[in-house]
């Protein structure tokens, strides 16, 4: 059991209100078109939402939790190339028209999502071009994130990369607790588990995070930010346009 109060599995702050930033920034008109097709689904830990090169049956707007897009090779394990949370969605290949997943997508921190079948979404997109435009703009965020991660992996030390990941994840969950193991972080960053443990111990000694078996608590976000490389800011800045858009309180059936 978690020693920390795990706020990430709590009910969303406002029950029945859409938490997803992508959806809440849609115009009421566009969202109304989408609403009848959306269904709440649980994202269970380590669940594979999409498999690389396989057809995308449905698109998921993340309501809570964190999902990773990962790249793989035969010999190496999976490495995260982008992180998606309340601000985003999984299944962009529907907007791109191929309906084939680019990468494996895995649930890192459990939560919920609003699901719509690919065909339904396609139909709505045809009717509402603004929705497609919104999706395409979101794709730029993802591309930017992937590119920055590529640079970060090439140039920055493990502790900086770890700090970046923790900050991005922190932004995407409710509360300060991240229910992640060192092992998971190691896989995600493509490094040794031991390296993650060492870096986290250093952070804990400086009072930046507090550790528990299976979970981390961010105690001093500002200090963590000064540990991270510029990449965090660069990735985060691109979400500015999403944050800048007016956010609506859309209701959704919790069934």
Partner DNA sequence: CTCACTACGTACGATAACGTACAAAAAACA
Partner DNA sequence: TGTTTTTTGTACGTTATCGTACGTAGTGAG
Separation CA 187–CA 56 (nearest Å) = 24
Residue choice 106, 108, 148, 173 for contact with its own copies (CB under 8 A):
148
* Residue 238 near DNA by CB under 7 A: no
* Residue 52 near DNA by CB under 7 A: no
Residue choice 51, 54, 98, 183 for contact with its own copies (CB under 8 A):
98
Q: How many residues bind its own copies (CB under 8 A)?
A: 43
Q: Any idea of the CA torsion for 77, 80, 85, 88, to the nearest 10 degrees?
A: -120
Separation CA 244–CA 202 (nearest Å) = 36
**Of residues 197-226, those binding DNA (CB under 7 A):** 197-198, 200-201, 211-215
Q: Which residues, in sequence order, are CB contacts of 249 under 8 Å at separation 6+?
A: 14, 17, 18, 24
Residues 66-86 as b/e (b if ≥16 CB within 10 A, e otherwise) read: bbbbbbeeeeeebbbbbbbbb
For residue 182, the minimal CB distance to its own copies (Å) is: 17
Q: Compute the radius of gyration of the chain from its Cα atoms.
A: 18
Q: Of 27-35, 40-48, 55-63, 154-162, which part binds its own copies (CB under 8 A)?
A: 154-162
Name which of 11 and 136 has its Cβ closer to its own copies: 136
Residue choice 14, 46, 127, 155 for contact with its own copies (CB under 8 A):
155
Which residues of this chain interact with DNA, rule CB under 7 A? 1-3, 156-159, 181-183, 190-195, 197-198, 200-201, 211-215
């Amino acid at each position: 059991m978690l020693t920390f109060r795990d706020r990430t599995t709590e009910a969303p702050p406002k029950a029945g209100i859409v938490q997803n930033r992508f959806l809440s920034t849609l115009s009421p008109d566009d969202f109304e078109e989408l609403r009848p097709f959306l269904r709440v689904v649980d994202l269970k830990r380590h669940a594979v939402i999409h498999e690389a090169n396989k057809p995308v049956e449905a698109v998921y707007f993340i309501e809570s939790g964190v999902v990773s897009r990962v790249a793989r090779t035969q010999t190496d394990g999976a490495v995260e190339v982008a992180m998606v949370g309340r601000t985003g969605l999984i299944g962009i290949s529907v907007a791109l028209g191929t309906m084939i997943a680019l990468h494996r997508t895995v649930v890192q921190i459990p939560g919920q999502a609003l699901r719509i079948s690919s065909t339904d979404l396609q139909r709505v997109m045809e009717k509402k071009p603004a929705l497609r435009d919104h999706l395409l703009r979101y794709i730029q965020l993802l591309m930017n994130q992937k590119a920055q991660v590529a640079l970060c992996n090439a140039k920055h030390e493990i502790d900086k990369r770890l700090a970046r990941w923790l900050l991005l994840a922190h932004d995407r969950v409710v509360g300060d607790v991240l229910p992640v193991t060192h092992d998971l972080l190691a896989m995600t960053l493509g490094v040794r588990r031991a390296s993650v443990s060492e870096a986290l111990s250093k952070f804990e000694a400086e009072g930046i995070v507090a550790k528990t078996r299976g979970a981390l608590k961010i105690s001093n976000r500002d200090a963590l930010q000064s540990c991270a490389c510029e990449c965090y800011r660069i990735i985060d800045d691109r979400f500015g346009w999403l944050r800048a858009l007016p956010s609506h309180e859309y209701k959704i059936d919790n069934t």
